[in-house]
Structure 1
Amino acid sequence: MEMIAGNAAAGPPAGPGAKLRGWAQSLGLLWVLLILCAVAVYLSPSFVQTGNLLNVGRQVALFGIVSVGMTFVILTRGIDLSVGSIVGVVSVTSAMMLASGVPIPLAVAAALAMGALFGAVNGAGVVLLGMPPFIMTLGTLVMGRGIAMTIATGEPQSLGEAADRFYFLGGGFLLGIPVPIWIFVAIAAAAFVVLRHTAFGRQIYAVGSNAEAARLAGINVPGVLLSVYVISGVLSALTALIFVSRLTVGEPTAGTNLELEAISIVVIGGTSLFGGEGGVIGTVIGAAIIALMANILNLLGISPFTQQIVKGAIILAAVGFEVMRHRRGR
């Protein structure tokens, strides 16, 4: 993890103590993940079957791509509740474009641009109107879901003849590994480099640590905030494209509650809801933990309703721990 107090363009990285705490936290998460794997093997030997492991990997990728974008936002002390609705809007619009004969590259570009537009609207509301991120993105969450249902008239949208040609993105394999996993690895690696080794990454940590101090240090705080919401919107749109490709249909309800999954993954991964602390490594491990727990519950035949109770308890525990840790640090 990195936190700076000076000019973000040339600010020093976090001290050795902060880095050691960050690595210790990541190591602790890895132990949790390994223990969960051992429990999964003990409870259900079918866990280690190739097909099941690939399904877990796909879930990690789908949750993880959105969560990387959420990490950028939460690092600035923000929140993005609209990610699930963006997935729904992009799902139906991209499916309708493909079904109408729009070339795949153009449809993909339009879908990503749509995600960027949603992110820009969120960022503009926070920056220009001074709206609290929670309220701003809650509004776009509701509006986005309404837009998706209106466009699709509440019905799933088929890809038509484009289904087979577009399937590779979400359902294909590369070197025996599902394509979404490769996409997630590339995005996580890029995000790690941006946050750890670029001026923009240092600016994100600075804004999350103390926005006023960052402004006085010469950082373009509005530009940073706008950028992280656009990043979150684009990655949500990419997730929607993977959903559509895999299912060969655009569902207006796609991504429902995905924002809760993403927030829980980011918090479990050690990124502070109070901003300025955390990173992508923890988010990747957090995504694996959430996907693995869901898989274990499915293998045990646990009711989906009971699974919601478990997930809610995990979110409360993770946030409660973070709040207590923040109070002790004052």
Structure 2
Amino acid sequence: MTVVVPRPSRLGLILSLTLVGLLIAMWIALSLSTPSFLTENNLTNLMRQGAMIAIIAVGQTFVIITSGIDLSVGAVVGFSSVIVAWLMTHGFTILPAILMTLCVGAAIGAFHGFGITTLGLPPFIMTLATLTALRGIGLLITNGATISGLPDAFTNFSRGAFLGIPLLFWMVVVVAIPAYVLLQHSRWGRYLYAIGSNREAARLSGVNVRAMIYLAYMISATLASFVGVLLAARIGIGNATQGQGWELQAIASSVIGGTSLFGAVGSVQGPLLGSFILTTINNGANLLNVNRFWQDVITGGLIIVIVYFDQLRSRKR
């Protein structure tokens, strides 16, 4: 049997255009409220920070589409920054260190897939346990300190630009294009949607559900590991405590972008837009001297409202 999953509907296009309009409106409002928003330094910083959340959110979306969740991505970011920094300070050149770190990320994702499909653990519990374990392992490796002394050629990348746009932002493009092709124009993408819609029906239709679960979690962890490499380049150190709370930012970005926590609904462009909306909110709040705690309240409120409407939409399906 062939699994047929509907392509993104006109509603999805409308949502994307709405998010673009919202982002533009926020930029206009902030530019009128504070002159420092449209400065080159601030916009560059916004793109760099938003880029890393966006990449994690794309990986998280693959998992959420299957009706799963990955709470470990923030810890994977910090752990990967430690791994790549440790490798480069112990005789490995830049490229091998990066590739080995990405392989570690893929292995973490495969471990998640094993725990969920073979051991039968809920994704929430499996990835929550990994979150805690990776923080501890990273701190053991560094003895609670940070790893510095990274090569200049590595750290200079984060400060570079191409066509006036930060290289870190271009990394979003590098990730988003293949992710879009995989999710929207391949049979594996259709299988992921099918699993999120009805796992048993997908299995009976011939979908290798176990392999697809492995794929989703390996993509999520590998992209988080990639962000760990980018973060190490940006701050110039490996630190196991980096990335704290980023898993919530990734989930929020994905949900704001239209991904359903009930599975089977989501896109690549949604979490990209959602991540920059969240980054703009945080950036604008900092420029307007809004209490940092209010930023968390705003993010939490957005999630509650969007999930509520997502729940209504799910009941109508």
- TM-score band, normalised by the shorter chain? over 0.9
13, 20, 26: which one aligns with 2:16: 26
In structure 1, distance between residues paired with 2:145 and 2:303? 32
TM-score, normalised by the number of residues in structure 1: 0.92
Q: State the distance in 1 between where 2:100 and 2:308 align.
A: 40
**Match of 2:167?**
179
Contact 1:269–1:282 (CA under 8 A) maintained in structure 2: yes
Alpha-carbon distance in 2 for matches of 1:316, 1:168: 40
Matching residue's letter, 1:29: L
Contact 2:146 2:238 in 1 (8 A): yes
Q: Is the 8 A contact 1:92 1:157 kept in 2?
A: yes
| Equivalent position amino acid for 1:137 in 2 | T
Count of residue pairs the alignment pairs up = 317
Give deviations 1:24-70, integer Å, cap 9, x for gaps.
11122122112211211121122111111111111221100101100
Residues 315-326 of structure 1 aligned to structure 2 (within 5 Å):
315-326=303-314
Take 2:306 and 2:51, find their aligned partners in 1: how far apart are those partners? 21
1:219 is paired with a residue whose SS is: coil
- Structure 2 distance, partners of 1:261, 1:316, is 14
CA distance in 1 between partners of 2:294 and 2:94 (Å) = 40
TM-superposition CA deviations, 1:249-300 (whole Å, max 9, x none): 1111111011000000000000100111110111111111011111110110
2: CA distance between counterparts of 1:325 and 1:150?
45
> What is the distance in 1 between the residues matched to 2:217 and 2:158?
24
* More moved, 301-310 vs 23-32: 301-310
How far does residue 79 in structure 1 lie from its aligned partner after superposition?
0.2
Residue matched to 2:221? 233
Cα distance in 1 for residues equivalent to 2:17 and 2:163: 29
* 1:105 Cα deviation from its structure 2 partner: 1.1
User: How far did residue 106 of structure 1 move?
Assistant: 1.1
Structure 2 letter corresponding to 1:45 = P
Deviates more, 1:166-175 or 1:80-89: 166-175
Q: Could you say which residue in structure 2 is the equivalent of 1:46?
A: 36
Unpaired runs of 5+ residues, structure 1, are 1-5
- Contact 1:163–1:245 (CA<8 Å) still a contact in 2? no
- Contact 2:254-2:274 within 8 A present in 1 as well: yes
Aligned with 1:310 (options 288, 291, 298) = 298
Residue 12 of structure 1: how far off its partner (Å):
5.8
Look up the match of 1:265: 253
Gaps spanning 5+ residues in structure 2: where?
none
Whether the aligned pair in 2 keeps the contact of 1:157 and 1:250 (CA below 8 Å) is: yes
The one of 134, 140, 150 aligned to 1:144: 134
Flag as ranges the 4+ runs of structure 1 deviating above 4 A: none
TM-score, structure 2 as length reference? 0.96
Report if aligned partners of 2:253, 2:274 keep a CA contact under 8 Å in 1.
yes
3-state SS of 2:151 partner: helix
RMSD: 1.4
Amino-acid identity (%): 41
What is the CA-CA distance between 1:101 and the residue it aligns to? Answer: 2.2
Does the CA contact (< 8 Å) of 1:70 and 1:80 recur in 2? yes
Match for residue 144 of structure 2? 154
